[in-house]
Amino acid sequence: MRDARDFIVASSAATIVPGVQHASLVVAEPFGGMTSWPIWVEGIDSVERLGRFELNAVSPDYFATMGTRLLRGRGFESGDVQGGRRVMVVGASMAAALWPGADPLGKCVRVGMVDTVPCSYVVGVAEDIHARGFGPQDRNFYYYLAAAQFRPHQGGLFVRAPGDARLSMEPLRRRLQQEMPGASYVTVSRLGDLVDNESRSWVMGATLFTAFGALALILAAVGLYSVIAYNVAQRRQELAVRVALGAAASDMIRLVVGEGLRLAVAGVAVGAGIALIAAPRVAPLLFNQSPRDPLVFGTVTGALLAVAIGASLLPAVRSARVDPNSALRAE
């Protein structure tokens, strides 16, 4: 799902406020309401050993409402009704797991009591979603049935509202309340609130990692500056001799900064090696990010080298301003 904070979940509703962009009936709600039914696929003895297969029953406008892309085939249409040819849309990972290297369109899947239900034929393949959590252990296989063929009178309504979803919540609730019989009460909430509840731990972890990383970078810069500054102070007479023999200021700066860079490169090499070795343990802490991403390694290396140059520059400039006479007369 994309742009989740622009969506509204309206439970136990049948119609929507005029003017909304898209709306879809759903039987299962992400991050809490997904369900799993037994399925049967020809040629596979035990589908359950491949993983957990979870379903949702939706109406034709679901994929436009949620912003979930269809990768192949089609979504549901108004003609997909009870009594007609049963159809389903499967997630990309489910298609790859059940029919590796084969075209999933047109395949037969029996959902439920396999001895009594007819085939549901795959008509589309949708991109994968997160519906239980954001960790690798939360990845399941998802598929969709036409709500009109599954449970047409159950579930809730997903609405894509224009602009800020918060401004549409109360008008939507009042309009839907008019359609509810008896004393039933409509509740409306942002899908973003559900997403925020699930992502809070990830956001907190990312914030802490960023804070610790920034602190480590500052400590590394201060430490490198201290080492270079001390080294320059210890080599003051040597540097003075170089200046007395005609070394230019730029030569002195390159000399000192080069030493700082050599230390930084050695540290980066050791740190990168440790990061690569620890990658399998770090992977569960990352969301949609490889622990061996070359772009991340390149960016971090560039940042560290830039900090090393900055930390070495001030001692380098001081070394270029050494007065040979005073330095050689010292001691």
- Residue (of 160, 185, 161) closest to 173 by Cα position: 185
Q: Which range, 37-41, 72-76, 80-84, has the best average confidence (pLDDT)? A: 72-76
Q: 265 phi and psi, to 5 degrees?
A: -65, -40
Please, is 140 exposed, middle or buried when counting C-beta atoms within 10 Å of its C-beta (0-12, 13-18, 19+)? buried
Backbone angle region of 32, left / alpha / beta, with phi > 0 → left and psi within -120 to 50 → alpha: left
The pair of three-digit structure tokens given for residue 2, joined into one six-digit string: 């994309």
Task: List pLDDT tens digits, range 60-71.
Answer: 889 988 888 999
Extended strands (E) in the chain = 7-11, 22-26, 35-36, 39-41, 53-58, 70-73, 87-91, 108-111, 120-126, 141-146, 156-160, 187-190
Give dist(CA 4, CA 67) in Å, integer.
Answer: 9
SS3 state at 194: helix
pLDDT band at 19 (very low <50, low <70, confident <90, very high): low
Q: What confidence tens digit (pLDDT) does each residue in 102-159 have? A: 999 999 998 876 667 788 999 999 998 877 666 655 557 889 999 888 876 667 788 8
CB-CB contact of 203 with 287 (8 Å): no
Closest CA to 158 of 25, 309, 319, 312: 25
Helix (H, G, I), strand (E, B) or coil at 207: helix
User: 145, 111 in Cβ contact below 8 A?
Assistant: yes
| pLDDT exceeds cutoff 80 at 57 | yes
For the stretch 151-171, pLDDT in tens is 766 677 888 877 777 777 788
Q: How far apart are the first and last CA of the chain?
A: 72
Q: What is the mean pLDDT of the chain?
A: 79
Q: Which of 150, 147, 179, 186 is nearest to 65 (CA)?
A: 147
Tell me the pLDDT tens digit for each residue of 252-303. 788 888 888 888 888 889 988 998 888 888 777 776 677 888 888 888 888 8
Model's pTM, two decimal places? 0.64
List own/partner pairs for 14-18 with CB under 8 A and 24 or more apart: 14/157, 14/176, 14/179, 15/175, 15/176, 15/179, 16/157, 16/159, 16/172, 16/175, 16/176, 17/159, 17/168, 17/171, 17/172, 17/175, 17/176
Residue 24's DSSP bridge partners are 158
Contact 242, 328 (CB under 8 A): no
- CA pseudo-torsion sign 319, 322, 326, 327: positive
Residue 49 and residue 290: Cα distance in Å, rounded?
26
Task: Using alpha carbons, select from 255, 234, 247, 248 the residue that is nearest to residue 327.
Answer: 234
Confidence check: pLDDT of 3 > 50 = no
**Residue 123: what pLDDT?**
94
